[in-house]
């Protein structure tokens, strides 16, 4: 059979309702044209993020009922711990409330002012947490990863020559760790090859520097490796996942992505000394080492979610459905980041609105137009999100697909609405920021439309 179906049936439904154009206009103005400020009930199809927005399975909900809420040494903690150990082989495993809590602890333990942390592309919270520690976050993705139209199969790869040069230029003392984000969210949800992960490992070994993964979407990355990397198609996703983790010294994970849960995170480390320091910080601000700011039931949901995400029928459907939306947009002549990412399709807003320059936020203009048109919420990933000292290479609008939530007809509707907006793209207006905080401004800034 050629049709790829959702490998589940629906047991519980959540109604969604269309709003009138007048209602959406009023909601937009109230929100200062910032889609993060909308009330979710005013959104019909929510593609703001794939983070914490997935649907849990009946097995996860039943695991929740088995949650052990003991303060210390809860049975649920051991279920969570044993699952992560089995999947990753990394011996020190801390639960955290989400990915950025893992990041904050890791960078506080490892970095000092003046340090440099290289990554393919730092996600926004990762960059902010590196910088919060006083270190500098440096993006070293390969050149193909900076060009929307390149169809390189592993556009998330790190540029190994640039990494080597960095070590030569600044010296290993200034580089406390090297990170690699799999898949590379800020670069278009693009995968990193095993070959590239091995090459980064080799550089780190030569210089005696620890190597960490930002492994939020480790299973989606492994699926791409199985599909695209020579010699990998006969291996199971589980084996590939294990090799990804075998190659690193630790990882931060937001379980809100490939953990298939609505809240939760993980910090993985090899090495007793660093794990000890991280545990102390965890206790200071998150909670005891056996719950890390979560309830026992959350740990149960993660233990089950990290198992389900490795099912290959799920991954096949997951990555196929993202590609399905991408194909519809591409066929209508809309430029997207090629090839389609794992968790999201990224529309190239500069190509969509060539009449709107980067400093008038073309991505924000497209995202606002899509909400106006059809109640769809997407997210600007461009100058609004990253426009500090170093403007981003691309102006994108991200359509992130929540896991196991929307059906094919929802996605058909999203494609149709985008095509409608595309047909009248010359009418879209640039925007200006009227109010913004000093960091992570995209969450709370307010905008006005230019005339
Ligand atoms: N790293 C990556 C690559 C991410 O995509 C995210 C979150 C984080 C770290 C932080 O995890 O949200 O659990 O604290 N990404 C979400 C997104 C928010 O919309 O892409 P968190």
User: Which tens digit of pLDDT belongs to each residue from 324-334?
Assistant: 999 999 999 99
Note whether 123 and 150 are same-domain residues: yes
Is 192 in the same domain as 280?
yes
Domain for residue 120, yes or no?
yes
In a domain, 12, yes or no: no
Annotate 237-258 with DSSP letters as a single string: HHHHHHHHHHTSSEEEEETTST
Show Cβ contacts of residue 190 under 8 Å, excluding neighbours closer than 6 positions. Answer: 145, 154, 155, 156, 183, 184, 337, 339, 341
Q: How far is the CA of 425 from the centre of ligand 1 (A)?
A: 30
pLDDT value for 394: 86
Is 375 within a domain? yes
Last residue of a domain, one of 245, 273, 308: 308
Q: What is the pLDDT of residue 393?
A: 81
pLDDT for residue 390: 67
Cα-to-centroid distance, 32 and ligand 1 (Å): 24
Pocket of ligand 1 (CB under 6 A): 49, 51, 98-100, 123, 125-126, 181, 185, 214, 216, 254, 256, 265
Share of the chain above pLDDT 70, in %: 99
Domain harbouring 156, CATH code: 3.40.640.10
Backbone torsions φ then ψ of 52, nearest 5 degrees:
75, 10
Q: Which of 308, 327, 345 is the last residue of a domain?
A: 308
**Structural domains counted in the chain:** 2
- Asked whether the beta carbons of 194 and 241 are under 8 A apart, the reply is no
Q: Does residue 7 sit within a domain?
A: no
Q: How crowded is residue 26: how many other Cβ atoms within 10 Å of its Cβ?
A: 13
Same domain assignment for residues 299 and 327: no
Q: What DSSP character marks residue 186?
A: G
381 half-sphere exposure, CB direction, 13 A CA radius: 27
229 lies in the same domain as 318:
no
349, 300: one domain: no
Least Cα distance to 154 among 130, 103, 114, 189 occurs for 189
pLDDT at 236: 98
- Judge whether 5 lies within some domain: no
Rounded-to-integer distance, Cα 110 and Cα 112, Å: 7
Domain-terminating residue out of 308, 340, 367: 308
Please check whether residues 410 and 343 belong to one and the same domain: yes
Q: How far is Cα 217 from Cα 309, in angstroms, rounded to an integer? A: 10
Q: Tell how far the Cα of 20 is from the centroid of ligand 1, in angstroms.
A: 32
Query: Are 371 and 244 within one domain?
Result: no
Q: Give Cα 436 to chain centroid, integer Å.
A: 23
The protein residue with its alpha carbon nearest to ligand 1, atom 21, reads: 99
Residues 303 and 316 in one domain: no
Residues 145 and 190 in one domain: yes
Structural domain span for residue 327: 21-50+312-449
For the stretch 376-427, pLDDT in tens is 999 999 999 887 666 788 899 999 999 999 999 999 999 999 999 999 999 9
pLDDT in tens, the chain (451 residues): 889 999 999 999 999 989 999 999 999 999 999 999 999 999 999 999 999 999 999 999 999 999 999 999 999 999 999 999 999 999 999 999 999 999 999 999 999 999 999 999 999 889 999 999 999 999 999 999 999 889 999 999 999 999 999 999 999 999 999 999 999 998 889 999 999 999 999 999 999 999 999 999 999 999 999 999 999 999 999 999 999 999 999 999 999 999 999 999 999 999 999 999 999 999 999 999 999 999 999 999 999 999 999 999 999 999 999 999 999 999 999 999 999 999 999 999 999 999 999 999 999 999 999 999 999 999 999 999 887 666 788 899 999 999 999 999 999 999 999 999 999 999 999 999 999 988 778 999 999 999 8
pLDDT score recorded for residue 186: 86
Residue with tokens 């009227």: 434
Residues 275 and 348 in one domain: no
Residue 165 domain flag? yes
Whether residues 256 and 166 share a domain: the answer is yes
Atom of ligand 1 nearest to the CA of 51: 16
Using DSSP's 3-state secondary structure scheme, residue 181 falls into: strand
* 8 lies in some domain: no
Q: Do 421 and 341 have their domain in common?
A: yes
CATH for 395: 3.90.1150.10
Measured in Å, residue 99 CA sits from the centre of ligand 1 at 6
10 located within any domain = no
């Amino acid at each position: 059979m050629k049709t790829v179906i959702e490998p589940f049936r629906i047991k519980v439904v959540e109604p969604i309702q269309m709003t009138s154009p007048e209602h959406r206009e009023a909601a937009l103005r109230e929100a200062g044209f910032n889609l993060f400020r909308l009330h979710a009930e005013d959104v019909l199809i929510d593609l703001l993020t794939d983070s914490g927005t997935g649907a849990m399975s009946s097995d996860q909900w039943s695991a929740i009922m088995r949650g052990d809420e003991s303060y210390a040494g809860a049975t649920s903690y051991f279920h969570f711990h044993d699952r992560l150990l089995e999947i990753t082989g990394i011996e020190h495993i801390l639960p955290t409330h989400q990915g950025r809590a893992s990041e904050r602890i890791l960078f506080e333990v490892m970095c000092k002012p003046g340090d440099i942390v290289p990554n393919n592309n730092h996600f926004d919270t990762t960059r902010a947490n590196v910088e919060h520690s006083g270190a500098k976050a440096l993006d070293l993705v390969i050149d193909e990863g900076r060009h929307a139209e390149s169809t390189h199969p592993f556009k998330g790869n790190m540029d190994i020559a640039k990494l080597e040069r960095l070590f030569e230029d600044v010296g290993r003392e200034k580089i406390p760790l090297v990170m690699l984000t799999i898949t590379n969210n800020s670069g278009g949800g693009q995968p990193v090859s095993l070959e590239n992960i091995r090459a980064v490992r080799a550089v780190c070994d030569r210089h005696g520097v620890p190597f960490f993964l930002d492994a939020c979407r480790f299973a989606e990355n492994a699926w791409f490796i199985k599909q695209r990397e020579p010699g990998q198609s006969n291996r199971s996703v589980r084996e590939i996942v294990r090799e990804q983790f075998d190659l690193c010294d630790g990882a931060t994970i937001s379980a809100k992505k490939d953990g298939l849960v609505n809240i939760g995170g993980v910090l993985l480390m090899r090495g007793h000394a660093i794990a000890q320091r991280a545990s102390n910080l965890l206790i200071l601000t998150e909670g005891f080492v056996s719950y890390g700011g979560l309830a026992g039931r959350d740990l149960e949901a993660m233990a089950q979610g990290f198992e389900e995400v490795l099912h290959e029928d799920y991954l096949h459907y997951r990555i196929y459905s993202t590609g399905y939306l991408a194909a519809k947009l591409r066929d209508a002549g809309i430029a997207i980041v090629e090839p389609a990412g794992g968790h999201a399709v990224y529309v190239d807003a500069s190509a969509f609105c060539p009449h709107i320059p980067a400093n008038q936020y073309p991505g924000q203009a497209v995202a606002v137009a899509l909400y106006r048109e059809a109640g769809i919420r997407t997210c600007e990933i461009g100058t609004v999100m990253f426009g500090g000292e170093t403007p981003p290479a691309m102006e994108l609008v991200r359509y992130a697909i929540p896991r196991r939530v929307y059906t094919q007809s929802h996605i058909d509707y999203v494609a149709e609405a985008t095509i409608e907006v595309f047909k009248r793209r010359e009418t879209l207006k640039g925007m200006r920021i009227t109010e913004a905080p000093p960091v992570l401004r995209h969450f709370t800034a307010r905008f006005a439309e230019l005339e």
